[in-house]
């Protein structure tokens, strides 16, 4: 049986056993539009039909404008001065972009005195990949550019593909999300907002690095930046690469080992990488690995420069549409949660789309269908959102054109078995907690001493009812280490089949939580207050969970002084806390272009 067939079969079996009665056998799912929006509410789109003959989704209503020839534009960045080094020494720092505009009858889009009715809003994708591992900025990119150009330029939007400093045809240094890069992004936003062809409104969208540049722009602030759509984007570089003091394997080499070569392409501008941020990258990663923190104590602002969320809350005045795969372990989900609720609490207009896909877009079948069990496979093919282009059109119309009613500010969330639902915030704030003291759980394998080659498995009592675990469960455990640090990794699996549900990681110097650690006294016992990464999983009635405790896992590496054994003390002071909510069949909706989850025959 193929992976696709297996995943559909597993979803079918799950819904028979757990969601029987959700869809009556004779009930036809329809999508009547009873709202004031041209696009049905998401709960009522199941009967909509979309094109699925390309690698991405298409809007259901074609625009009326032709797409004009691409324009090649260089934007001066006067904020880069001699103190920044690089192109600041010659005073000619600039970023390059490709721009696609609609052909509008009677409009000269290159005129300096363009008619008001000819002006259009601009959607930008900004990143390091044009001409560096991908097409140049003047060619529609399959990452996202072609999707934006073909869907939205005919609807009266401009689309820009922008290269950050040190990449593509932009000069200066490859600053890896630093302040220089942010200045270049800000200059591009200001240009696109003030240009004669612009109506003054700019939106930024992208995934991964390209999904981090929207946060960089928001951190700088601009009256022209009206909306950002970060997909698997970083709210801060250190926030991503270190979790409770634990470093991802790429953390120490992220700047010069991973992206530094983008600024070294054999031309005369290679010398422009001799700027502060690029040079700091050689020590900032390794030094942060040694300490686990952001190096502020040594006077370095390398990581602080690359922290975006706090500055966005201060400087940005626009909407945010966060898109993140709950199974994305490249840019982990803690970039989106609790960011979603932080933004709501700070007064921002926020929407979220959180499916069980990996480091991907909501509508790319090749990425979705390749996921493994426990990592999104069970939710496929219901992960695919062929209505995503329509959803974005409604969003852009409102926030960039002030057209139509406001989109619903909701979170669309998918659980690990494929069912979608709407939440008013995410994770839901009204949660119930289930607590298991470790003295009522049982050790089924391994011993209390955990080494680099051994682990301990703990079995907890079975659930007496179907249980939805959401958000960030906690695990507090007493740990003794014979050295000045230690490292611990916990995986949560389903008891009956060993399926991965979630995981947590911690450098024991950060046992109390937060971003400031402390050196341990050899032989000291501490309480490791661990928090799991964001999850939305269902465990059926009569099934349970197990915890596998080891020294490390996933792509995290032990702290440099944590390879000695650790001893776990499982008494009543150690416990597992599961954050749960109850949802039933009435809460689920079916996305378009899918058969119903099952033709429901009540198994009772």
CA distance 294 to 302: 8
Percent of the chain with pLDDT over 90: 70
Category of 299 on φ-ψ map: left (φ > 0), alpha (ψ -120 to 50) or beta: left
3-state secondary structure of 346: coil
Q: Is the dihedral of CA 127, 129, 134, 137 positive or negative?
A: positive
**For position 269, what pLDDT does the model report?**
58
**For position 241, what pLDDT does the model report?**
86
Answer yes or no: are the C-beta atoms of 324 and 426 closer than 8 Å: no
**pLDDT tens per residue, range 430-476:** 999 999 999 899 999 998 999 888 999 999 999 999 999 999 999 99
Residue 325: is the preceding peptide bond cis (ω within 30°)? no
- Indicate the burial class of 314 (C-beta count within 10 angstroms; 0-12, 13-18, 19 or more): exposed
CA distance 158 to 162: 13
Task: Tell me the average pLDDT across 71-75.
Answer: 98
- Inform me whether the pLDDT recorded for 268 exceeds 60: no
Go through the chain and tell me how many residues it has. Answer: 604
**For position 1, what pLDDT does the model report?**
38
**For position 174, what pLDDT does the model report?**
87
CB proximity list for 209: less than 8 A, separation 6 or greater: 127, 128, 129
More confident residue, 295 or 603: 295
Tokens 């704030």, located at residue: 429
- Inform me whether the pLDDT recorded for 98 exceeds 70: yes
> What does residue 216 show for φ and ψ, rounded to 5 degrees?
-60, -45
3-state secondary structure of 558: coil
Task: Tell me the average pLDDT across 233-248.
Answer: 89
- Indicate the burial class of 36 (C-beta count within 10 angstroms; 0-12, 13-18, 19 or more): exposed
Q: How far is residue 236 from each of residues 12, 132, 211, measured CA to CA in Å?
A: 39, 23, 12
Answer yes or no: are the C-beta atoms of 416 and 378 closer than 8 Å: yes
Task: Tell me the average pLDDT across 93-111.
Answer: 96
Answer yes or no: are the C-beta atoms of 33 and 45 closer than 8 Å: no
| Of residues 405, 248, 262, the one with CA closest to residue 330 | 248
Percent of the chain with pLDDT over 70: 89
Which range (70-74, 144-148, 174-178, 309-313) has the least confidence? 174-178
Predicted confidence band of residue 256 (pLDDT cuts 50, 70, 90)? low
**For position 541, what pLDDT does the model report?**
95
Half-sphere exposure of 163 (CA within 13 A, CB side): 34
CA distance 507 to 509: 5
CA distance 260 to 431: 44
Predicted confidence band of residue 29 (pLDDT cuts 50, 70, 90)? very low
**pLDDT tens per residue, range 157-175:** 999 999 999 999 999 988 8
DSSP string, 42-61: GGG-TT-----SSSS---SS
- Inform me whether the pLDDT recorded for 601 exceeds 50: no
pTM for the model stands at 0.92
Predicted confidence band of residue 122 (pLDDT cuts 50, 70, 90)? very high
**For position 19, what pLDDT does the model report?**
42
| Of residues 68, 132, 140, the one with CA closest to residue 101 | 68
**For position 13, what pLDDT does the model report?**
43
Predicted confidence band of residue 140 (pLDDT cuts 50, 70, 90)? very high
> What does residue 203 show for φ and ψ, rounded to 5 degrees?
-125, 145
More confident residue, 77 or 12: 77
CA distance 133 to 537: 36
Answer yes or no: are the C-beta atoms of 59 and 149 closer than 8 Å: no
The tokens describing 393, both together, are: 């059109």
**For position 4, what pLDDT does the model report?**
37
CB proximity list for 301: less than 8 A, separation 6 or greater: none
CA distance 468 to 470: 6
Task: Tell me the average pLDDT across 383-406.
Answer: 97
| Of residues 128, 121, 130, the one with CA closest to residue 204 | 121
**For position 7, what pLDDT does the model report?**
39
- Inform me whether the pLDDT recorded for 352 exceeds 70: yes
Domains in the chain, CATH or no CATH each: 1-60+327-429+587-604 (no CATH), 66-317 (3.40.50), 432-580 (2.60.120.260)
| Of residues 465, 473, 477, the one with CA closest to residue 582 | 465
Per DSSP, 28 falls in state P
Q: What is the mean pLDDT of the chain?
A: 88
What are the strands, taking DSSP E only, across 235-292?
242-243, 246-248
What is the torsion angle, in degrees rounded to the nearest 10, for the CA atoms of residue 399, residue 400, residue 404 and residue 410? -30
Over 495-537, what HEC string results?
A: CCCCCEEEEEEEEHHHCCCCCCCCCCCCCCEEEEEEECCCEEE
**pLDDT tens per residue, range 517-576:** 888 888 889 999 999 999 999 999 999 999 999 998 888 888 776 567 889 999 888 999
Other C-beta atoms lying within 10 Å of the C-beta of residue 446: 16
């Amino acid at each position: 049986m193929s992976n696709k067939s297996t995943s559909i079969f597993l979803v079918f079996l799950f819904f028979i056993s757990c969601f029987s009665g959700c869809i009556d056998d004779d009930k036809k799912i329809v999508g009547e539009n009873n709202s004031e929006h041209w696009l049905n509410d998401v709960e009522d789109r199941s009967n909509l039909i979309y094109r699925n003959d390309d690698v991405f989704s298409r809007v259901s209503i074609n625009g009326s404008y032709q797409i004009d020839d691409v324009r090649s534009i260089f934007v001066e960045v006067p904020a880069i001065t001699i103190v920044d080094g690089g192109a600041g020494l010659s005073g000619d720092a600039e970023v390059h972009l490709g721009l696609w505009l609609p052909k509008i009858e009677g409009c000269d889009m290159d005129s300096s005195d363009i008619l008001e009715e000819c002006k259009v809003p601009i959607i930008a994708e900004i990143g390091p990949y044009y001409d560096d591992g991908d097409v140049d900025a003047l060619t529609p990119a399959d990452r996202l550019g072609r999707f934006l150009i073909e869907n939205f330029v005919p609807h009266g939007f401009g689309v820009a593909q922008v290269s950050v400093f040190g990449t593509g045809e932009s000069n200066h240094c490859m600053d890896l999300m630093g302040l220089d890069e942010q200045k270049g992004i800000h200059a591009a936003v200001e240009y696109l907002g003030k240009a004669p062809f612009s109506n003054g409104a700019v939106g930024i969208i992208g995934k991964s690095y390209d999904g981090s540049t929207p946060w960089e722009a928001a951190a700088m602030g601009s009256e022209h930046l009206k909306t950002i759509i970060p997909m698997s984007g970083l709210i801060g570089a250190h926030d991503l690469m270190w979790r409770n003091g634990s470093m991802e394997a790429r953390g120490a080499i992220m700047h010069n080992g991973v992206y530094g070569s983008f600024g070294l392409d054999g031309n005369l501008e290679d010398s422009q990488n001799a700027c502060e941020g690029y040079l700091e990258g050689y020590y900032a990663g390794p030094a942060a690995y040694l300490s686990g923190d952001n190096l502020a104590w040594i006077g370095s602002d390398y990581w602080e420069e690359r922290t975006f969320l706090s500055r966005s809350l201060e400087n940005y005045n626009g909407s945010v549409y966060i898109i993140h795969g709950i199974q994305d372990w490249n840019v982990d989900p803690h970039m989106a949660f609790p960011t979603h609720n932080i933004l709501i609490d700070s007064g921002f207009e926020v929407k979220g789309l959180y499916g069980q896909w990996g480091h991907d877009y909501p509508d790319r079948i090749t990425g979705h269908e390749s996921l493994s069990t426990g990592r999104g496979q069970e939710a496929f093919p219901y992960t695919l959102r062929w209505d995503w282009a329509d959803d974005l059109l409604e969003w852009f119309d409102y926030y960039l054109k002030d057209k139509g009613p406001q989109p619903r500010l909701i979170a669309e969330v998918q659980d690990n078995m494929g069912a979608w639902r709407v939440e008013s915030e995410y994770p839901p704030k009204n949660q119930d907690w289930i607590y298991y003291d470790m003295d009522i759980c049982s050790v089924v394998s391994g011993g209390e001493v955990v080494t680099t080659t051994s682990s301990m498995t703990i079995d907890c009592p079975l659930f007496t009812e179907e249980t939805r675990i959401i958000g960030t469960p906690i695990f507090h455990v007493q740990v003794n280490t014979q050295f000045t640090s230690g490292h611990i990794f916990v995986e949560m699996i389903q008891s009956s089949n060993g399926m991965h549900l979630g995981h947590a990681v911690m450098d024991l110097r950060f046992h109390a939580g937060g971003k400031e650690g402390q050196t341990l006294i050899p032989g000291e016992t501490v309480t490791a207050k661990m928090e799991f990464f964001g999850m939305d999983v269902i465990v059926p009635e009569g099934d349970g969970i197990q915890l596998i405790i080891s020294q490390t896992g996933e792509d995290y590496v032990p702290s440099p002084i944590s390879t000695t054994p650790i001893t776990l003390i499982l008494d009543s002071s150690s416990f597992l806390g599961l954050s749960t909510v109850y949802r039933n069949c009435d809460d689920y909706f079916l996305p378009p272009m899918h058969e119903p989850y099952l033709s429901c025959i009540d198994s009772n």
